[in-house]
Structure formats: C-alpha cells, structure tokens
A = this chain, B = another copy of it.
Amino acid sequence: MTQPQSRRLAAVQAPVIPIVGRWTAGAPGTISLGQGVVSYQPPKEAIDAAKSFGATLPDHRYGPVEGLPALVEAIGRKLETENRIALDGSRVVVTAGGNQAFMNAVLAITDPEDEVILPAPYYFNHEMAIVIAGANAVAVPTTESYQLDLRAIENAITRRTRAVVTVSPNNPTGAVYPESDLRAVNALCRDHGILHIHDEAYEYFTYGVAHFSPGSIAGAAAHTISLYSLSKAYGMASWRIGYMVIPSALDEAVNKIQDTILICPPAVSQHAAVAALAVGSSYAASHVARLDETRQTIFAALNQPDVPCDVPVSLGAFYYLLRVHSRMDSMTLTERLINEHRVATIPGSAFADPSPCSIRISYGALDAGTILEGTRRLVDGLRALAG
C-alpha cells in the first residue's frame, strides 16, 4: 500500500492545539492561556430548551438544509437589529459551527488553484480550509499594530483571486478594524468582482470601540459573506452552532454543500440556539466588563520595560499576540514555557505570524486569580528565556 493521504492534505499544517495540549498534559499544574474559549456556560434557557427537545417524532427527522425556521427567523431579527443587515439579496444558513460556515464558503466560490487572500497573522483553520479545498491561501502582511494594510491587500489581487477574508475582532491578534477599513476592503472586493468574507465570531467582544458589519453596507449583499458563531457569544462551543449570510447567487451552491456535508444542522442544538438568541446579546455583555479588566491587568503586567516583548494594542476578542524578543522560534519558546514555567500559550507560527518569535495568549477562559498567576509565570518565563 502506498501512502493513502492526498497531496493536498500533506500540505495542510497539523492542528497546533492538540500539540500544545499534549505538552500541557505532560506538565502537571500548567495554567493554560491557550485555547480560545470563554469562562461561562450557555444561558439556562438554552440548556432547558434541549431538555424539552425530542418529545415528537419529527424532532428526530432531518430538518431544512438551511436550519429550522424558528432559528433562521431569530437570526434574521438579530442581524437586522444588531448588525444592520437587512437580508435583502442575501440569506441565512445555519451551520455546525463557524468553521463549517467558512468551509462552505470556500467550497462554494473556489476552484482548485484559485486564490483567497488572508491578512496575516490569520486564524489557522481558515488557511487549512482553503488548502483542503484545493485552493491557495495568499498571506498579506498587516501593520505593526496588526491592522489591515489596504495597499498590500489590493496588490495581492490577481485574476485567480476569489475572495479577501477579514476577521474582526481578530483571532489571534485582538485587533478591531475601523469601519473605514472594512468599507474600503468591501469596496475593493466589489470593484474587483470578488467576495469579501468577513468573520464576526467575536462581535460582542470589544472594549471601548464599536463593532461594524460590512454586510450592512448598501449594495454589499451581492459580494459579502458574513460568518457568525454561538460558541463564544453564548458559551456554546460544544453545541456546534454557527451561521452564515450569503449572497442569493450562492444559494444553490451552499445548499448543495450543506446537503452533502451535513444534511441539516443538529436539531437539539438548534433548539438550544433559539432559546439563547431570545436571551440575546446582553448575555455576553454581562461578561465583557470583567474581561476588559483582565485585558487591562495583563497589559499592565506585560507592557514593562524589563519584560522582553512587544504588546500590540488589543481592543477585541480575548487575545494578545505578543512579539517576543528572542532568537528562539515560537514552537520552542511555547514548549519551554510549558515545561519550565508551567504556562501554556499558542505559538504565533501557527497563525503564520511573520514575526520569528511570538505567542498568543487567551484570557477568555479563566478566573481573575488564575489569570494573574498565569501572567506572573509568563512574565517570569519571558524574562528567563528571552531578552
């Protein structure tokens, strides 16, 4: 038997979270500033909705490919009131999480060898999805503060380009893009006849800056795909519910993909999602004030002359991507921080950070005391290992 794995899969990076997870498991007592998860569970209403699911036979049969009507309608109302997206010329499709929504989008619009532009550092699963689809991810640099470089994006567009991807608030950097930049990217995509894929999974996690949805721009519906997730907003990561807003011209393509991959999203999770959306965005808002305090505490601890790293501004999500002053590569630093200092982070190399040594820290999942101790270990570790 020859190697059964395809060439395209051989070219996909290995997921880094399980690697860091193994290192962490091998170093008992490690505090994880690693995976991007929140500290809270779903609203009680969502869990209760799942408890009352399943009383009738139709509950257990396949549902509509785009999601249950009650959920699609609730999402429509949310998009209209919160995101100012009118669903005029576009449509909602519920998916098994935000990642599947991105995969649906890439499969719908790319042929093999087409190109998709990703400002780097980028969310690793986005690059993986593009390569798995047989297309090419084209990384373009961002600025020193991880903001979009509009000129670099425009210069990267070729006749094979099918889309530009933006994520705001950003994973892994925490950057929030100003409305003007998102409007500029959206116009660029319109003018070049390509799509703007915008990921808003962290829409509720901003600190003193406004969130903007480019799907709300007049005339944007035909060339904009907007992606959302309940995983962070409602603490529902394990339930696997996300959704996408797609141009009407992609209806048929996304229907085919969704039918082929999923048939329909899990119904019990959709029922929980309807109840979560009825609670609404105030649920996440109740946690964001606490996260903002944590964010500031971490900044104060790390942004010291004797800590050998740069801490670019982060006004969104729950991440910092630190540039570390070290000749070590990101993976080596990550492993040594775990083994020698019992603090886990994610290496910047997983996000294609052009900086030779960087680490992402996530502060969404832990209580304030653990975060403080984790940050103390990180500061000690950076002083000992870098500089």
Interface residues of A (CB under 8 A from B): 1-10, 12-15, 17-18, 35, 37, 39-42, 47, 50-51, 53-54, 56-57, 59-63, 65, 96-97, 99-100, 103, 107-112, 114, 125, 128-129, 132-134, 162, 190, 193, 195, 222-223, 235-240, 247, 249-250, 252-253, 255-257, 259-269, 272
Known: A15-B255, A112-B134. 10 other contacts (CB 8 A): A1-B249, A4-B250, A5-B109, A5-B253, A12-B253, A18-B255, A35-B62, A107-B132, A134-B134, A239-B267
How many identical chains are in the complex?
2
The answer to whether B125 touches A238, judged by C-beta atoms less than 8 angstroms apart, is no
The answer to whether A61 touches B237, judged by C-beta atoms less than 8 angstroms apart, is yes
Bound-complex Cα distance A10 to B110 (A)? 11
Q: Which residues of B contact A111 (CB under 8 A)?
A: 6-8, 134
Q: Which residues of B contact A272 (CB under 8 A)?
A: 268
Q: Which residues of B contact A15 (CB under 8 A)?
A: 65, 255-256, 259
Residue of chain B at shortest CB distance from A106: B6
A8, A50, A110, A128 — most chain B CB neighbours (10 Å)? A8
Contact of A60 among B62, B238, B264 (CB under 8 A): B238
Q: Which residues of B contact A103 (CB under 8 A)?
A: 260-261
Residue of chain B at shortest CB distance from A255: B15
* Subset of 13 A-B contacts with CB under 8 Å: A5-B249, A5-B250, A5-B252, A8-B112, A41-B57, A96-B266, A97-B262, A125-B260, A237-B263, A238-B264, A239-B267, A240-B263, A266-B268
